[in-house]
Amino acid sequence: MLVKNHNVTDFSQHLFWDVKPGTVDLVKHQRLIVERVIQRGSRKDLDLLQQVYNRETIRTIISQIAWLNDKDMVFVHVYFDIPLLEMKCYTKRQSVRYC
């Protein structure tokens, strides 16, 4: 589900400082938008993200993110009820050997 009356410029400007706002498409660039909001967005951005995309779409994209810091990983695990073992950022971290 995608709400038609939203645009990438509705999100905080600092999230997309490196791209021209007119070039980011809410459908084509879902992963980019979700990653940036989770990693660097405010509560307002998170609320807007949930208005733009349905919860299942967000959960699917988050599950595929290769890296999240510990705080963000635990937040999305709890907030979106995603099992850690279904999150690529968690399973990838578990397979890394530390010396």
Q: How far apart are CA 63 and CA 90, in angstroms?
A: 9
Q: How far apart are CA 4 and CA 2, in angstroms?
A: 6
Over the stretch 1-16, which tens digit does the pLDDT of each residue have?
A: 565 688 899 999 999 9
Over the stretch 27-53, which tens digit does the pLDDT of each residue have?
A: 999 999 999 999 999 999 999 999 999
Sign of CA dihedral 55, 57, 63, 68: negative
Q: Is the pLDDT of residue 96 over 50?
A: yes
- The pLDDT score that the predictor gives to residue 48 is 96
- The pLDDT score that the predictor gives to residue 92 is 86
Over the stretch 59-85, which tens digit does the pLDDT of each residue have?
A: 999 999 999 999 999 999 999 999 999
Of the CA atoms within 13 Å of residue 78, those in its CB half-sphere come to 5
- The pLDDT score that the predictor gives to residue 40 is 96
Instruction: List the domain boundaries for the chain.
Output: 8-95
Pair of tokens at residue 10: 């509705």
The structure tokens 């709400």 sit at 3
pTM: 0.88
Alpha helix positions (H), 22-69: 30-40, 43-52, 55-64
- The pLDDT score that the predictor gives to residue 77 is 96
